[in-house]
Structure 1
């Protein structure tokens, strides 16, 4: 759920794509304002903010809608139609929320709360050599088309997702475009060999959904076949997707015989559908539409931040980047604009991710010190008066436009010239992903990164390296530190990545961290479901049940 920067390529997601974003936080408390809080709130009031891929598609058909709401049907309303249901693209949140662990399943699953890896279609795994892992597959499992699942299918699925020309999202985001050698050595065993030792290969494999070995390798599929508790019933483009319960499922049968997804772009409409009894679950509600009766808050895996383009003056001067960091009052923004859905952040990864640095605290706003840094940079010839464009995406998160205006105001208060550009998804991606646009001047990009994998390596590979898909610059020393941390495991890995994050903040300062976010899931009183940090990326229907005494 990489956002985001599932990191967190969500090319048509409401989150930043994790591949060329994507990206567990506690409920935000009402913090003290801290230094500068009163001034910022006055500024917000003055600004009026307080109230306010080229592959073809296999087995493609428009299909007919199967079933309708009612009876034993779970009704879900999404914020957008999935761009694809192709399993190798399921690290796109809008695809994964339908496909992952519903239609298809991985060999290994990660517990979103504890971070532990658990067996699913694999019953066990072990490292047999520095670069080789062996996995045993679960017997007695069949695909939804009746085909028997074996290690051959698992090996095929890994090879198809990572080594093929399909340009799968999971390849770039999870495997960094590095190929693997994968072989089925028997009907129930396979080996995976990497070019160099990879201590987190089992975690990477948890992102690969298993499909039959007869699946096309020439084109992405429209209606995938998997081993999950539901099978695709129909996809009526622009209208709905239906899933039917898989009566041959190897695990526990889900409570609902059918699920039906529709999509509505307006959060107020999604909230109203819950209130009016037209939907059981609704994704991505706006706080202004949410009540205790129609929604529940959950840690959505996302961190908002400003990415500063260190290639362009005046942002190429670390004093200016540090000044921006000190100019921002995260406490006031979180309290005024995010409410209980944002906690001030000091790093790109939230607590619970390997590498989270518990010693870091959000920068205390100090406009005076920030102005002094800008003044010193100007005295040395840095063109601090040059216009900086703050780019944000429409609908990126609730009250994004007001957030951009608050950031503009704070940066202006320390002597910087900032204009706002609100962009649609396609335009925002041009600024976000390499190759970055040229001749556009200095850019401060508002991003939303989600590390759904639970390891800082995925954040570093996308956002911190000099040539990362979503980084504008870096340093040789930061690259060296990331490479060294990536080769470690256990406590040493945690410590090394925590140091990487601290070094980035101190010596590179490409990012101004704003808040760790929480999401709002619409939930009708007729159903029982406990969302977790993975809910925004994979909504497991088997975990949903009718509320007591309210069976459907």
Structure 2
């Protein structure tokens, strides 16, 4: 994959916007001008021995490490394909499904898929991996009361019938035919059947190339190489994750040789020596919670969409490492609609819609909470401030609330926070499945894990699209994305993003569209290693 590197000097502000927004954008660049003090990195010397320990610095500490939550970025970046593994793996570059813990799979009945499993795999605690563990893992993630993100995101909250036929055969049966069940199963991380079904685990046991060594709360997570791993051994005997909330600190740790990989660098901290840009498959948007006024009025939601200056945000805050978005999935995902265009900003039309709603008694002056997550993406706080200013300019009362991951999830995923007033949630959605049905299911169905909208008609349309395959499936999904923009306006899309990953000169790693969610440590090599 050809990767482009960011400029070493901060870019000049572009566009013709005046006043507060230009000043706000200028403020976003102040940390670079002020220099970089590596606060909180004095402990970085303890992040491990270079060449022996792969040292990774994250933006935040994970809330837990339960493999059933591996589709959440903050958890999956540690767990997926490192500690635990799925039955089937999706290649993030080609999109092809590949064998992993399952060697073959076949649709043996219209509603049943049968999978053959490896017989030479053991868990980190020495237990052999069998079909009972595979069935248990699917049942735990999808059919239990744990409210795992993968349940709503990938399986739309639908229960499955799972059976271990013998030690190396498992069947998965659905109520209706499901042509993409193997793709869904690629999101189930396998755990032993002794894993708790009552609570989410903090130190998981898996089959992956690395095993948990320990988690010192607030300090680090340590992994050790699994010497009994069934596959190819990873290059580094140990891996250690630390977290630093400031992107400038993460970048400086790469530059100073204190870390090998760092997630989510800011453009002003990135150089040709410490980072690489990559398409991270993420889309930012405001998800408008329609349970309360004034966001329950489509005129107000349309006004918000019209108020956002997407190109200015992409150019000024993201330094061109983004492009304005018109839908939640980027090009290349099945169902992407090439006919949708980003909304052209029209503050005057937005003000008219707000005034019209106010004239009909809608409380447009009611405070709207713009909720964002610390470390969600580079310059997230500045993005929230830009949005606050733009929405205020069309007559809306917006207050910013910045939260950590655990608190943000209470607004993001069912059961959502109650009695919190109208919420415009800043989300960054990555579709790692390559199929828009997984985005649509969780965000647009009545009972979707991340939806506050939905109708019986839309639910039926989504279900019908999910039963299709090939071009018919793509066209049906693209049509649903168009309906969201035309008739629902739950989302005010902002930008399709690129990521900046810090990479030390001492290691070799080529980030791909999944790297922001699933950082496979086994793909990292020492720079002087043969064949790297």
TM-score range (shorter-chain normalised) is 0.7 to 0.9
Q: Does 1:421 align with 2:396?
A: no
Out of 134, 137, 140, which is 2:120 matched to?
Answer: 140
The separation in 2 between residues aligned to 1:284 and 1:244, in whole angstroms, is 25
Instruction: Rate the CA distance shift 1:481–1:27 in 2: closer, same or farther, 3 A.
Output: farther
194-203 or 405-414, which deviates more? 405-414
Distance change >3 Å, CA 123–CA 332, structure 1 → 2: same
Superposition CA RMSD, Å: 3.0
1:64-87: CA deviation from partner (whole Å, max 9, x where unpaired): xx9942452211122223333332
1:47 Cα deviation after fit: 4.8
Match of 1:338 in 2: 318
Gaps of 5+ in 1: 1-23, 31-36, 53-65
Would you say the 8 A contact 1:231–1:244 is kept in 2?
A: yes
Q: Map of 1:148-159 to 2, 5 A cutoff? A: 148-159=128-139
Find the partner of 1:194 among 174, 177, 188.
174
Output aligned runs, 1:100-499, within 5 Å. 100-217=80-197, 220-414=200-394, 416-425=395-404, 427-434=407-414, 436=416, 440-499=420-479
State the Cα distance separating 1:284 from its structure 2 match: 1.8
Alignment deviations for residues 71-115 of structure 1 (CA, whole Å, 9 cap, x no partner): 522111222233333322322322222222122211100111222
1:516 aligns to what?
496
Query: Residue 118 of structure 1 aligns to a residue in which SS?
Result: strand
- More displaced, 41-50 or 181-190? 41-50
Verify the 8 A CA contact 2:48 2:54 in the aligned structure 1. Answer: no
Quick one: structure 1 residues 28 and 255, their matched pair in 2 at CA, closer, same or farther if it must change by over 3 Å?
closer
Distance 1:316 1:84, change over 3 A: closer
Q: Contact 1:44 / 1:50 at 8 angstroms: preserved in 2?
A: no
- 1:44 corresponds in structure 2 to 21
What is the rounded CA distance, in whole Å, between the counterparts of 1:224 and 1:192 in structure 2?
Answer: 24
- In 2: Cα distance, 1:248 partner to 1:89 partner: 25
d(CA) in 2 for partners of 1:201 and 1:489? 12
What TM-score does the superposition give when structure 2 sets the normalisation length?
Answer: 0.86
Q: Deviations over 1:238-297 (max 9, x none)?
A: 333322222332222222222222222222222111111111111222222221211112
| Equivalent-residue separation in structure 1 for 2:22 and 2:254 (angstroms) | 33
Moved more, 514-523 or 445-454: 445-454
Residue segments in structure 2 that go unaligned for 5+ positions in a row: 8-13, 30-45
Aligned with 1:114: secondary structure?
coil
What residue in structure 2 maps to residue 75 of structure 1?
A: 55
Call closer, same or farther: CA 1:49–1:311 in 2, change over 3 Å.
farther
Matches of 1:175 and 1:150, distance apart in 2: 23
Q: Quick one: distance in 2 between partners of 1:98 and 1:309?
A: 30
Number of aligned positions between the proteins: 508
Within 1, Cα distance between the matches of 2:309 and 2:6?
16
CA distance in 1, matches of 2:103, 2:280: 29
Distance in 2 (CA, whole Å) between partners of 1:402 and 1:220 is 33
**Separation of aligned partners in 1, 2:356 and 2:68:** 50
